[in-house]
A and B are shown apart, each in its own frame.
Chain A
Amino acid sequence: MQTRESPDTTPASSDPPAARRQAMSSLMGLAIFGEKVAARTYLAMADLRADHGDLLRKFAAMEARHGSSFLQVSRANAVEPDREFADRELGYLVEQVERYARASDFDALAVLQGFIVESLAIATYEPFLGLADTYPGAREAFATALADERYHVDWITRYLRLRYFGAVGEFLGLAERVNTQGIDCVGGSLMSIAGYLDVVGLSGAQCAAGMLDGYAGLLEDVGLDQRTALRSVTTLFAPLMAKYRRREHR
């Protein structure tokens, strides 16, 4: 298993327009290439479960379309997506996805992609709509993506509720197994972009709260009690936030 390193991703420029460009470049890079990884993950899930294969391939196609529409938004706004940044952030996630796929661990992929990754997407796309009109084409692209991600989350929630009906303890075991790397990885990416979110006019702390609270809420929707869900998520999220703070104050 890989371990996450802590790249220094704090926006470096003291020139506000340059800092904003750098921030948008990193954010759009992560969004575009992250959607492509999401597409691959749903395809891997489709290969594992023929009974849900057609639907999951549709999910994969939707994610791929998000990536394409985000790329168009980038081009329309002269934002060059930072692929290097995205690759660095997504490598850890890809490794986890591939490991679960090799192990035919469908449910782990469902939690990782359908809950954790989607929670990051929703926690950032939703507030971004508040400033999307600054960027031509962004509103439609992000509103569509947000609605689609919520649809995916709804389906995954229903799947997991049925799968773990009367087996909440087993589900907690699954979630904690996936969380250990999944929150470190995806939550870590959110910490990596928190400074950029602040630069473009969003709040890194609000987005982090959105992801943490959103994901805990999904665990509750499957059957965990509020306290267990919050504890499970915050235990892993808190050290990431602390790391962020220490980096900011170095």
Chain B
Amino acid sequence: MNTDRRQGGCGSTRDAGDGATSPEDASTLAARPVDATELLLWALMHKFERPALEHYAAHASALATAEKRSFVTRLDALEADEAPLAASTLAAPVDELLARARGADAISVLIVQGLVLEHLGQAIYGIAESTEQASPASRTLAAVGRAASVSVTAIASAEIAARVGTHERLYAVFVDASEEVIAALDPLAEPVDEVFGERFGLRFADVLGEFAAGLITACTALGMQRRKVVAHLAGACMGL
């Protein structure tokens, strides 16, 4: 785990890389993905990751870990053209999801960004990392992204427990904070399958399965009853 996550004064995260560039960093930066669909994926992830880091810097600075800052710097460096993303079927549901994730207080940032959306990112990175259809550069980047996200969720869980509590007390807050964002995931299903399914074998159902498994496991580790968390996810997914 990163030990200097509180360093760096995250007020300006655009410049908040951790400074040193390792040989691995350099080789990854050199091996930039060139495939248009891969770049679209990274433009998409950048659209999530950059505001997330800014939210962390503003509301929950411990979550702006060195790993996350370094990863977002890598995504910045890709300079993936956002125009294809804006023109794709992903644009509207992504904008809707991000609008719902725009929490303005520490608790909603911790829960929505630090827990829910980070687990969504981990699911996407985990699948991208393991798919042989992706380039080595993208697979490496996905592995780095997943590790960065894990560094955030570990701290987010501890922060949530410290600030909100655990078990039933946390469950009520978690439900309230996460419902709208979870309900906004479904419209992504068809666009994700359409854009990334054939190229990467990245299906939204797999992402959702991985996401749910990770999020439920994290919630139960915080003392929430598994059955109730599953019911919350089911209700949000079913619109009930």
Q: Chain A interface (Cβ within 8 Å of chain B)? A: 191, 194, 198, 203-206, 208-210, 212-213, 226-228, 230-236, 238-239, 241-242, 244-246, 248-249
- Is B83 interfacial (CB-CB < 8 Å)? no
Q: B203: shortest Cβ distance to chain A, in Å?
A: 9
Q: B96: shortest Cβ distance to chain A, in Å?
A: 14
Contacts of B228 in A (CB 8 A): 209
Q: A216: shortest Cβ distance to chain B, in Å?
A: 8
New contact pairs (11) apart from A234-B208, A245-B238, A249-B239, CB-CB < 8 Å: A203-B235, A206-B234, A208-B231, A208-B234, A209-B228, A226-B217, A233-B209, A235-B208, A245-B186, A246-B186, A248-B238
Q: Check if B230 sits within 8 Å of A209, measured CB to CB.
A: yes
Q: Which 3 residue pairs of A and B lie closest in terms of their CB atoms, listed nearest first?
A: A235-B209, A209-B231, A205-B235
Given known A213-B230, A235-B206, contact A245–B239 (CB-CB < 8 A): yes
Q: Check if A248 sits within 8 Å of B205, measured CB to CB.
A: no
Q: B116: shortest Cβ distance to chain A, in Å?
A: 15
Given known A209-B227, A238-B205, A238-B209, contact A230–B239 (CB-CB < 8 A): no
- Is B136 interfacial (CB-CB < 8 Å)? no
Given known A209-B230, A212-B230, A213-B230, contact A244–B238 (CB-CB < 8 A): yes
- Is B212 interfacial (CB-CB < 8 Å)? yes
| Bound CA span A239–B238, Å | 10
Q: A153: shortest Cβ distance to chain B, in Å?
A: 16
Given known A227-B213, A234-B213, A238-B205, contact A204–B230 (CB-CB < 8 A): no
- Is B103 interfacial (CB-CB < 8 Å)? no
Q: A230: shortest Cβ distance to chain B, in Å?
A: 4
Q: Check if B216 sits within 8 Å of A230, measured CB to CB.
A: yes
A-B contact pairs, 15 of them (CB 8 A): A203-B235, A205-B235, A209-B228, A209-B230, A210-B231, A212-B234, A213-B227, A227-B217, A235-B208, A236-B205, A236-B209, A238-B205, A239-B189, A241-B237, A245-B237
Question: Which of B189, B234, B235 neighbours the largest number of chain A CB atoms within 10 Å of its CB?
Answer: B234
Q: Check if B238 sits within 8 Å of A194, measured CB to CB.
A: yes
- Is B240 interfacial (CB-CB < 8 Å)? yes
- Is B226 interfacial (CB-CB < 8 Å)? yes
Q: Check if A231 sits within 8 Å of B210, measured CB to CB.
A: yes
Main secondary structure on A side of the interface with B? helix
Q: Check if B226 sits within 8 Å of A234, measured CB to CB.
A: no
Given known A205-B238, A230-B212, contact A239–B230 (CB-CB < 8 A): no
- Is B214 interfacial (CB-CB < 8 Å)? yes
Given known A213-B226, A226-B217, contact A208–B209 (CB-CB < 8 A): no
Question: Which of B186, B210, B228, B240 neighbours the largest number of chain A CB atoms within 10 Å of its CB?
Answer: B240
Given known A194-B238, A241-B234, A242-B237, contact A210–B227 (CB-CB < 8 A): yes
| Bound CA span A206–B228, Å | 8
Q: Check if A242 sits within 8 Å of B209, measured CB to CB.
A: no
Contacts of A204 in B (CB 8 A): 238, 240
Q: Check if B213 sits within 8 Å of A238, measured CB to CB.
A: no
Given known A204-B240, A249-B239, contact A209–B213 (CB-CB < 8 A): no
| Bound CA span A50–B221, Å | 44
| Bound CA span A132–B237, Å | 28
Contacts of A248 in B (CB 8 A): 238-239
Q: Check if B234 sits within 8 Å of A242, measured CB to CB.
A: no
Q: B233: shortest Cβ distance to chain A, in Å?
A: 8
Contacts of A210 in B (CB 8 A): 227, 231
